[in-house]
Amino acid sequence: MIYMGIFSFRGYGPGRGVRKDERKLKRPFLLFYYLFFNFNKFIKTSMLFTVVCLPVITIGPAICGMTYINYCIAEDKPSFFLSDFFEHFRKNFFKGLFAFIITLIPLFSYTVALFNAEAIPHFKNFLMPLLLVNLIMLMMSFYIYPLIVFYDIPFFAVFKNALLFALIKLPLNLLVAAVILGLITVTFYYIPVIGMIVTPLFLISFLNYFSTFSVWPTIKKYMEV
């Protein structure tokens, strides 16, 4: 294993090989194994993502770049940090941008209904349906960005396949969603000060890695038949 300093912007090059102890681990344990050996890369990715997303309009494309980096970690493949991040940021800019906007629509709708429910009681009827739509969209988002990054398919097909995967693997997706929402809740509700520090330094990249690691076998199984 080649160790890179925390502020080195290179990644693993070709030919690193497979560690002997890595072959013995089942996939759930590999999640933590790769986390341990790539901890510095999570920090770099989160910091880069935070900086790149300052214009806001770049959030979707930045998720594409981060997804590629975390895919390489999850599948133990070589990557070159800055060049790979910005390559997939650039290649998927418009798809990533529009995907992010679409995924925000249910959240925006729920927020509007929630904050106007007292003034307009009719809005209360929409809260539960919109909450369900947001949950489905969250689960779809686990698949949307990997599909954009790795498969040259029409934009509509990205969302159609993401919805199918969200439903086909519903128990898995609910578990992943529960873990992600749980970590976010604990971080911002119970320890908000620490959360403001941990999120841009680590949590952003880890959550993306966790979802990518969890759903990639499903994507590979159905997209590469």
- Span 99-129, pLDDT tens digits: 999 999 999 999 999 999 888 889 999 999 9
15 in any annotated domain: no
196 in any annotated domain: yes
Measured CA to CA, the distance from residue 96 to residue 52 in angstroms comes to: 14
**Domain assignment of residue 28, given as a range:** 21-223
Mean local confidence (pLDDT), 215-221: 96
3 in any annotated domain: no
pLDDT at 25: 76
Mean local confidence (pLDDT), 33-43: 95
For residue 64, give the 3-state DSSP assignment. helix
Residue of 33, 77, 69, 72 whose CA lies nearest to 49: 69
Q: Taking the CA of residue 143 as centre, how many other CA atoms within 13 Å lie in the half-sphere pointing to its CB?
A: 29
pLDDT at 197: 92
pLDDT band at 18 (very low <50, low <70, confident <90, very high): low
8 in any annotated domain: no
- CB under 8 Å to 9, separation ≥6 — which residues? 44, 81, 82
pLDDT exceeds 50 at position 11: no
pLDDT at 2: 30
Question: What's this model's pTM, rounded to 2 decimal places?
Answer: 0.88
pLDDT exceeds 70 at position 5: no
Name the token pair of 81.
Answer: 């940090």
pLDDT at 224: 82
Residue of 136, 110, 132, 142 whose CA lies nearest to 123: 110
pLDDT at 1: 29
Report yes or no: 57 and 120 within 8 Å, Cβ to Cβ: no
Place of tokens 């960005």: 145
13 in any annotated domain: no
Quickly list H helices, 38-123: 39-52, 59-74, 81-91, 93-115
pLDDT at 6: 36
Report yes or no: 168 and 218 within 8 Å, Cβ to Cβ: yes
Measured CA to CA, the distance from residue 165 to residue 141 in angstroms comes to: 10
Q: How many domains does the chain have?
A: 1
pLDDT exceeds 80 at position 15: no
116 in any annotated domain: yes
Measured CA to CA, the distance from residue 106 to residue 27 in angstroms comes to: 33
Note the pLDDT tens digit of each residue in 139-197.
999 999 999 999 999 999 999 999 999 999 999 999 999 999 999 999 988 888 988 99
pLDDT at 225: 67
Note the pLDDT tens digit of each residue in 40-72.
999 999 999 999 999 999 999 999 999 999 999
42 in any annotated domain: yes
77 in any annotated domain: yes
- CB under 8 Å to 148, separation ≥6 — which residues? 64, 92, 95, 96, 99, 158
